[in-house]
Amino acid sequence: MDKLKHTWHKTPRSARRILVLIVGGLVVLAGICMLVLPGPGWAAIFLGLAILATEFERAEKIRAAIVKRFKDAIEKARTKTKH
């Protein structure tokens, strides 16, 4: 695992960013498709955003905003069920 990590960090940043963009983008697109098809759509979208967030700050901000909205919705649902 250390060798893989070392190789990854030796790879030029532009090549890493392109690879992360392709893999993360494909996972996000698959997640979007799974919102209407059978499969764990939201989980795939979160995974894709997490992959993208390793190299892109904007993806991290989007991921954090989505997580905040879900936490707020869960909290709102919990308070409604207690009353």
pLDDT tens, per residue, the chain with 83 residues: 788 878 878 888 888 899 999 999 999 999 999 999 999 998 999 899 999 988 898 988 988 898 899 899 999 988 887 76
Phi, psi of 65 (to 5 degrees): -65, -40
Write out the residue range of the structural domain in which residue 44 sits: 2-82
- At residue 54, the pLDDT reads 87
Nearest to 49 by CA among 69, 28, 20: 28
- At residue 83, the pLDDT reads 61
Total number of domains in the chain:
1
Nearest-angstrom CA–CA distance, 53 and 27: 13
Q: What is the pTM of this model?
A: 0.73
